[in-house]
Structure 1
Amino acid sequence: MKKISLLVITLITMASCQQTQKIGFVDNSKLVNEYQEKIDVEAKYKTLIDASNKTTDSLAQSFQAEYQEFQAQANSMAQDKAQERYQQLGQKQQMLQQQIQMAEQQIAAESQKEIDSLISKVRTFVKDYGKSNSYDFILGSNDAGSVMYGKEGDDLTATLVKALNDSYKK
């Protein structure tokens, strides 16, 4: 009886060792950077940044013209009036700088929020892909070297980029 149970345990152990796990990997940065939605988000924010820069340039030119006009008139003004106007221009310059900084921060925050959402969407997609295609593991490779080597047949990057982009087009 003891020998039979030992034989059964040995057979079960050997059978469980024979099961292979399905493992794949993806290049994280390539997966995200070639995802069309990320490309679209970057283009959207580039347009917003360009528009913001044009507005900033316009405000700066307007302020510069106003300041130069003041400098031209400063010598003919009473000293207390010139000092008052100089302080007004200094305050206006500070307000403009704060306005520009707030606009830049708002664009950066919105952009980061969309990128974070996009990365979360990619992770969920990879997880669902792994489940639906019976993968035990899908590893992510990056510059830090989390996957130092993988057979080309196990590289799912191109497959997942295509599937992500197809899903996005829908």
Structure 2
Amino acid sequence: MNKVILSISLLLSLASCQEAQKIAFVDNSKLLDDYQEKKDLETMLKAKIDKYQHKRDSISQAFQIKAQAFEAQAKSLAPAVAEQRFKELSQESQMLQQQLMAEEHAIQEESRTKMDTLLKKVKNFIKEYGKKNDYDFILGANDGGSVHYGKESKDITAEVVRALNEKK
């Protein structure tokens, strides 16, 4: 009986001596909103989108002028000639639409690829930050609810953003 009590008290004393785990969380949305590289990426992509939209609008306007000129001229053309030019205009319209769609798709793909790369970089940085600062866990808080509550003192978002922005 004494051995059982001694064993239990030894286990309890060992359990009480265990070091508390170091746990913190990062607000994922705030982290990304405050991360300078993400801001720079968004600015660069917005510039590409604006350039594309300007080009698309210019091409569309030029084509509309061409189509209106054809429409005004079509009445005075022979039916076979008018039909041939209409087919040519239709083919040109389809070609322009395909070209613009390809450019739009390329911008979307570039955006997706660069954002995925950025997210991997942030994830790896947080992992290294956790190791360097001796955290047992760094949780990610987001709108999806992976952290429903966290003490303010456990929120290391500002520290991580500062460290991430300093690392270039």
TM-score by length of 2: 0.93
Q: Distance in 2 between matches of 1:7 and 1:122?
A: 49
Letter of the structure 1 residue corresponding to residue 6 of structure 2? L
Q: Distance in 2 between matches of 1:10 and 1:27?
A: 41
2:56 aligned residue: 56
1:7-65 Cα deviation digits (max 9, x unpaired): 35642454235421100001011111211000000000100111111111111111111
Q: How does 1:32-111 map to 2 (within 5 A)?
A: 32-111=32-111
* Structure 2 segments unaligned to the other structure (5+ residues): none
Q: Which runs of 4+ in 1 moved over 3 A?
A: 2-6
Q: Is 1:7 aligned with 2:45?
A: no
**TM-aligned CA distance change 1:132 to 1:8, over 3 Å:** farther
Percent identity for Structure 1 against Structure 2: 49
* Structure 1 segments unaligned to the other structure (5+ residues): none
RMSD over equivalenced CA pairs, Å: 1.6
Q: Distance in 1 between matches of 2:13 and 2:137?
A: 22
Instruction: Report the Cα offset of residue 153 of structure 1.
Output: 0.8
1:137 aligned residue: 137
Q: Distance in 2 between matches of 1:45 and 1:62?
A: 26
Letter of the structure 1 residue corresponding to residue 127 of structure 2? K
1:80-127 Cα deviation digits (max 9, x unpaired): 111111111111111111111100110110111011000000000101
Secondary structure at the residue paired with 2:167? helix
Letter of the structure 2 residue corresponding to residue 107 of structure 1? I
Q: Distance in 1 between matches of 2:12 and 2:116?
A: 44
Q: Is 1:16 aligned with 2:15?
A: yes
The size of the alignment, in residue pairs, is 167
